[in-house]
Structure 1
Amino acid sequence: MVSSSSILTLTASDLDKVEVTADDVLAAVETAYAALASGASSNPGKLTVAPNDRRSVAYSMLARDGHSETVAFKTSFKFDPHHDRTRKRYYTTLSLYDDTTGAPIALMDCGRIGALRTPAVSGLLIRACAVPEASTILVVGTGTQGRFALPLALAAHPHFTDLELFGTHPDGIAAVRDELARQCPGRTVRVSTDLEASARRADVILAVAGEATPADIPSEWTKPGAVTILVGYGLSASTLSDADYVVATSAEQMRTTGTDMAGADGVLRGVDAELPDILAGRAPARRTLSDRVFAYNSGLVVTDIALGLLFAGKAREQGLGSTLDLWS
């Protein structure tokens, strides 16, 4: 453990050298949710600020994980004027502190943490909410979240036999295929050329696209029993308003960040169950096998803590990172 006047700092390139398995990631995130459901952890709602022209958005988040007795602060700043990729900027950090000794643990770039945490949560939503015989998954989007979506979905629900992908960027499609081949040798994904047909046959639709996506899947394209999971964009607001059952990682965060999914009357549909309660057995994941389930996946910092500790421990074992005497 570093001294109370110094902290281990881990850059994005440091963290890229750390190897973790999909099972490691799922287990860490599930443990964090269990502690939250038990009342041992605390994860207040996020604070957000943005200028009137929406050229940027910033978040500040705080949490305490009762399982590891760790406190974390996370920040996120995205500058993305008019979706111009040449001007897009994104910075996110995570700082961890030991709540048993008072010592700082690590300060790190949070990009890779978020890139794995969010699809891991989607995996847990799939495991909980999908019908047992679910065999077809459609991923909408080929960015960072799209790249890791299928390996973590397969880790959570290995019974998928039909993997489909809708995307508009050739490089992104290639990256999704490469990551799937790396983590799941022998598995292949088919690129959808008819989004409606793909959506109608999917048991699970995972929407992780960016705001500029042409995809806008309406509720009438989803079949009875299907699960639609919203992480980014790609689903019409009707998938929420017409759902038979609504799940969220956090109802409070959905009310804060999910306002664009309000119905035609301007009202945001309420949540029937939160994922921590479902995992703890206190709430059902659906009422019937024919329910169309909508799930809203918004990040909770307690899960970033779990993955941050996993990465920090492995990085320390590998001699990665540097010590910053920030308070000396």
Structure 2
Amino acid sequence: MSYPEISFLYLNEEEMIKAGVKNMHDCIDTMENVIKCLNAGDYVMGGENHNSHGSQVSFPKESKFPNMPIDEGDDRRFMAMPAYIGGPFDMAGMKWYGSNSNNKTKGLPRSILTLMLNDKDTGAPIALMSANILSAMRTGAIPGVGAKYLAKKDAKVCGICGPGVMGKTSLEAIISSCPNIEEIKVKGRGQNSLDRFISYAKEKYPHIKNIKSVDTIEELVRNTDVISFANSGNTDPSTYPFVKYEWLKKGALIIGLSCFDMDSTEMAKCKLVVDNTALYETWAEEFPYPSFGANNIIGSKFTDMIHDEIIKREEMIDLGDIINGIKKDRDTQNQIVIFSVGGMPVEDVAWGKYCYENAIKQGLGTTLKLWDKPDLA
């Protein structure tokens, strides 16, 4: 980058695909390096504690202003998620998105996302990119890192709760990390979405012959080695998929990408792992006790359990400590493991840099000029 002239690269979705945004194998490797950076503390996110997930604009239930959006339970919001991540990335950036479930009636995804990468010293823009696929891939890849270190090596059965985008990307990552998977079970709410998921899985994984839908959570988790909860959810825990400990196969891994629930005393029998301990401690501050429900990620139930003295603080294990050999993946081979995935903008920035570097190598994108010389310098 030359100064004072500033230009940046714009990458649309098609160019992002050419730049490798869908490369799950590399995304898992990238997210593993992200977890290592998080564990070392070589990152900064929003807020005074440097661990905030982001800043969200939510709308009121009612308003005297006729043009103001109304919260009708349709996930209508805007969110800014800034971050810096060090290590091999050394990059700053921000994911920005607006979300509205009614977008589907217009042929649009619920959330529309972009990512801006910025020079860490000047703040100058480096790249602006389409980020829907990027976000979906990094979200799915973290379960792949979890499965690599936490699933039993002979895992053969995978269960997916939620046949949407997160269900598909987490399945791809789990299969990448658990090559012996030979059966897929999926639980959803609508037959059309289940049929689409099964057709997708059969086409993408022709070597897996047994791919089927199930009607209950019990059917989903019984005799299943790796379960991904990738369903949509709200702030009412009574509506979350509920898992009983007695249903779970010995040695099973549950990955909580989205909401599910278990009895706290039963959950205390499991190995409880999170993707970044500091994130959950920050959520416990931002969503005062009880955090779980206000935040529907299962790791917030872990911090509630610490508050209630059901488990000790050291029983909430950071995945980075397992990757670095500081903590064991499981205390016994039959121990059930629950891995909570919070999702963080450092992941977007890291995967965005990977795609940006590939785009540069391939000559992709459109160069946009911010200025030749800043008028206000």
Q: TM-score category by the smaller chain? A: 0.7 to 0.9
Once the 2 structures are TM-superposed, how far is the Cα of residue 237 of structure 1 from its aligned partner? Answer: 4.2
- 1:240-274 Cα offsets, whole Å, 9 max, x none, are 844522111123333528622566x9757766211
Structure 1 residue aligned with 2:292, among 250, 259, 271?
259
Q: What amino acid does structure 2 have at the position aligned with 1:229?
A: I
Structure 2 residue aligned with 1:78, among 80, 95, 99?
99
CA distance in 2, matches of 1:77, 1:259: 24
Q: TM-score, normalised by structure 1?
A: 0.84
What's the counterpart of residue 128 of structure 1? 149
What's the counterpart of residue 113 of structure 1? 134
User: Is the contact made by 1:208 and 1:230 (CA closer than 8 Å) also made in structure 2?
Assistant: yes
Change (3 A) 1:310 1:181: farther
CA distance in 1, matches of 2:194, 2:133: 19
Once the 2 structures are TM-superposed, how far is the Cα of residue 280 of structure 1 from its aligned partner? Answer: 1.6
Does residue 11 in structure 1 map to residue 12 in structure 2? yes
User: Is the contact made by 2:271 and 2:330 (CA closer than 8 Å) also made in structure 1?
Assistant: yes
Runs of 4+ more than 6 Å apart: 212-215
CA distance in 1, matches of 2:87, 2:122: 14
What's the counterpart of residue 91 of structure 1? 112
CA distance in 2, matches of 1:71, 1:40: 12
Once the 2 structures are TM-superposed, how far is the Cα of residue 222 of structure 1 from its aligned partner? Answer: 2.1
User: Is the contact made by 1:203 and 1:227 (CA closer than 8 Å) also made in structure 2?
Assistant: yes
What's the counterpart of residue 167 of structure 1? 188
Structure 2 residue aligned with 1:208, among 222, 230, 251?
230
CA distance in 1, matches of 2:304, 2:244: 17
Which is higher, the Rg of structure 1 or of structure 2? 2
Once the 2 structures are TM-superposed, how far is the Cα of residue 7 of structure 1 from its aligned partner? Answer: 1.0
Q: Secondary structure at the match of 2:143?
A: helix
Q: Secondary structure at the match of 1:201?
A: coil
Structure 1 residue aligned with 2:321, among 267, 277, 299?
277
What's the counterpart of residue 156 of structure 1? 177
CA distance in 1, matches of 2:115, 2:330: 34
How many residues of Structure 1 are paired with residues of Structure 2 in the alignment?
A: 325
Once the 2 structures are TM-superposed, how far is the Cα of residue 194 of structure 1 from its aligned partner? Answer: 4.3
Structure 1 residue aligned with 2:23, among 21, 24, 34?
21
Root-mean-square deviation over aligned CA pairs: 3.3
What's the counterpart of residue 306 of structure 1? 350
Q: TM-score, normalised by structure 2?
A: 0.74
Change (3 A) 1:52 1:249: farther
Structure 2 residue aligned with 1:245, among 265, 271, 275?
271
Q: What amino acid does structure 1 have at the position aligned with 2:34?
A: A
User: Is the contact made by 2:217 and 2:243 (CA closer than 8 Å) also made in structure 1?
Assistant: no
User: Is the contact made by 1:147 and 1:175 (CA closer than 8 Å) also made in structure 2?
Assistant: no
CA distance in 2, matches of 1:202, 1:327: 56
Alignment of 1:137-148 (within 5 A): 137-148=158-169
Does residue 217 in structure 1 map to residue 242 in structure 2? yes
CA distance in 1, matches of 2:9, 2:224: 44
Unaligned runs of 5+ in 2: 62-70, 373-377
What's the counterpart of residue 191 of structure 1? 213
Change (3 A) 1:32 1:60: closer
Q: Secondary structure at the match of 2:233?
A: coil
Change (3 A) 1:121 1:253: same
Change (3 A) 1:69 1:203: same
User: Is the contact made by 1:151 and 1:183 (CA closer than 8 Å) also made in structure 2?
Assistant: no
Q: Secondary structure at the match of 2:83?
A: strand
CA distance in 2, matches of 1:323, 1:222: 53
CA distance in 2, matches of 1:217, 1:319: 49
CA distance in 1, matches of 2:29, 2:121: 23
User: Is the contact made by 2:198 and 2:212 (CA closer than 8 Å) also made in structure 1?
Assistant: no
Does residue 48 in structure 1 map to residue 55 in structure 2? yes
Q: Secondary structure at the match of 1:325?
A: strand
CA distance in 2, matches of 1:237, 1:194: 15
What's the counterpart of residue 33 of structure 1? 35
Change (3 A) 1:174 1:326: farther
Q: Secondary structure at the match of 1:118?
A: helix
Q: What amino acid does structure 1 have at the position aligned with 2:223?
A: R
Comparing 47-56 with 4-13, which one deviates more in the overlay? 47-56
CA distance in 2, matches of 1:249, 1:266: 17
Change (3 A) 1:327 1:29: farther
Does residue 60 in structure 1 map to residue 81 in structure 2? yes
CA distance in 2, matches of 1:38, 1:251: 12
Change (3 A) 1:170 1:31: same
User: Is the contact made by 1:65 and 1:305 (CA closer than 8 Å) also made in structure 2?
Assistant: no
Among the aligned pairs, what percent are the same residue? 22
Q: What amino acid does structure 2 have at the position aligned with 1:142?
A: P
